[in-house]
Amino acid sequence: MATLDINRVRKAYGKMEVLKEINISIEDGEFLVLLGPSGCGKSTLLNIIAGLEEITDGEVLIGNRVVNDMAPKDRDIAMVFQSYALYPTMTVRENIEFGMKIRGIPAAERAKATQQAAEMLQMEGLLDRKPSQLSGGQRQRVAMGRAIVRHPDLFLFDEPLSNLDAKLRVDMRTEIKRLHQRLGSTIVYVTHDQIEAMTLATKVAVMKGGVVQHFGPPQEVYDRPANVYVARFVGSPAMNIIPGRLLASDGAPSVAFDTPSGEAVLHGISLSAEAARHYAGREVLIGIRPEHCARDPQGAVPVGVDVVEPTGPDTLIVFSAGGTEVVARLDPHATEVGQQDRFAVKTEKVVLFDPETEVRID
């Protein structure tokens, strides 16, 4: 187990810059998720940490050791790939033991480590099978077992659940969470799935275009996204971004936006006095999470319901506001299409963004 520090890291292929001044630090035992769409640079960053890609500029430190020029085998890491990367002619036991065998670890010690990993991952009955006899989830367990027996300073996971169906992804997510809790290991995990990021991470780095857009605890990323991109990328349904304006006021800040059914005014917005003075009377982007809306006859937001989408435990309501489509997450059977209604909003949860820079206003 070890700390990880990524300082001013850049990666370029000729004139094409893939990573731009990446700065991330995590403590021993933390679970870092690199989150973003395809092409954002997250896998390239993981490969740089692993030593599979050369760095253009900056430093990578694992446990306070600069590893820029260190070979992958000397970095004391273990990597779990999306494709499992198992040897098809070997049994599960042989796959798990293979790395230890190459390093000259005695047979008895190999057997003990393999048995412990199998018990931890609940695959004792699979040790004598070949990979072709296993399901996708079982193969991923074997790949994790092979990593565990190395007792590395750092575990690296490269989209390990992408090839699994929805139910298996949920099951394996739980296994990885349980593994982290048992081992207390330092993990870096790459994914494009924001649910995986929210459920697994102690820290999330949301990436776009080779730049970290927001780095912090998952709840902070969800509640106080650094910009509009993060607000829309994290959350399902995404945060509503509604064009509106900050009202000039001597009291607590208020915002207003238009709906086809009339003007909505939200009072008691959380905002610093300096920001309130600077943006008073100006246009802003109003960020509201779908679950922070509730049906209320006395609510501040008049709406005409355009679409109702029942999901079972709740219902998604779609209506227009500020010239854009807005989604509210309500109790089941809350309302009907075409109905004129009023919604209340948890104003203490509202986030404001600058309409030009799209950066959060504090």
Model confidence pLDDT, tens digit, residues 323-346 = 999 999 998 877 889 889 999 999
Which ranges in the chain are annotated with CATH 3.40.50.300?
4-233
Q: Which residue do the tokens 């943006």 mark?
A: 279
Band (84; pLDDT cuts 50, 70, 90): confident
Asked if residue 318 has pLDDT above 90, the reply is yes
Name the least confident of 115-119, 285-289, 317-321.
115-119
CB 335 within 8 A of CB 295: yes
* Backbone φ and ψ of 198, nearest 5°: -65, -35
Burial of 304 (0-12, 13-18, 19+ CB in 10 A): middle
- What's the pLDDT score for residue 120? 86
4-233 has CATH 3.30.110.70 classification: no
Q: Above 80 in pLDDT, residue 23?
A: yes
| For range 43-68, the mean pLDDT | 96
Checking if the pLDDT of 265 tops 90, the result is yes
State what percent of residues in the chain have pLDDT above 70: 99
Residue 179, H or E segment: helix 166-183
Pair of tokens at residue 321: 């506001």
Res. 285: pLDDT tops 80: yes
Average model confidence (pLDDT) across the chain: 93
Q: Does domain 240-361 have CATH number 2.40.50.140?
A: yes
Q: In whole angstroms, what is the distance from residue 217 CA to residue 181 CA? A: 17
Within the chain, which residue ranges are assigned CATH 2.40.50.140?
A: 240-361
Query: Is the pLDDT at 125 greater than 70, yes or no?
Result: yes
Locate 209 and state its tokens: 């275009």
Lowest mean pLDDT segment, chosen from 43-52, 117-126, 223-232:
117-126
pTM above 0.85, yes or no: yes
Mean pLDDT in residue range 244-272: 92
Write down the pLDDT at residue 284: 98
Question: 130 or 336: whose pLDDT is higher?
Answer: 130
pLDDT of residue 122: 85
Per-residue tokens: 234: 């994290």
User: What pLDDT shows up at residue 1?
Assistant: 66
Bigger pLDDT: 82 vs 213: 213
Instruction: Please determine, for residue 100, whether its predicted confidence score (pLDDT) is greater than 80.
Output: yes
**Lowest model confidence (mean pLDDT) among 28-42, 90-104, 233-247:** 90-104
If you average pLDDT over residues 207-220, what whole number do you get? 98
- Res 150 pLDDT > 90: no
How far is the C-alpha of 264 from the C-alpha of 245, rounded, in Å? 11
Q: What angle do CA 154, 155, 156 make, to 5 degrees?
A: 115
